[in-house]
A = this chain, B = another copy of it.
Amino acid sequence: MMIGEVAEKTGFSVHTLRYYEKIGLLPETLRDAGGRRVYGPDVLVWLEFVERLKQIGMPIRDRVRYAEMRAQGDSTISARRELLQTYRDDLAKRVASLSETLDVLDAKIATYETATKCNGASQ
């Protein structure tokens, strides 16, 4: 795969993919005779996971740290587990908090609906 195809399949822009390589979030790839990046299919799996880490709010520095440990191999497994565990626990709290906020919003919306029905009075 060329970089454009990876971009299309993952939703990351070509610019972003090169940027990710520069900062170490993507490993350096093979190049073809013309100097272009050639990716194997594994990169899609990795990028999907990176997207998850991004989604949960892991800052890019930690994503890079994770990527670096991954590149170092099995010796870093327990450190990686710990890193993920920290974010996992935080995420569990955030999901709970967001669910609560969902209820708050529903309540607010409900009061707005009541207010509208009662012809613009109150609140």
Residues of A within 8 A of B (CB): 49, 52, 55-56, 74-75, 77-78, 80-81, 84-85, 87-88, 91-92, 94-95, 97-99, 101-102, 104-106, 108-109, 112-113, 115-116, 120-123
Contacts and interface: CB of A to CB of B under 8 A. Distances in A.
Contact of A78 (B81, B102, B116, B121): B116
Given A56-B101, A87-B105, A94-B98, 6 more contacts: A55-B97, A81-B109, A81-B113, A81-B116, A88-B102, A95-B98
B84 A112 contact: yes
Contacts of A97: 55
A77 B112 contact: yes
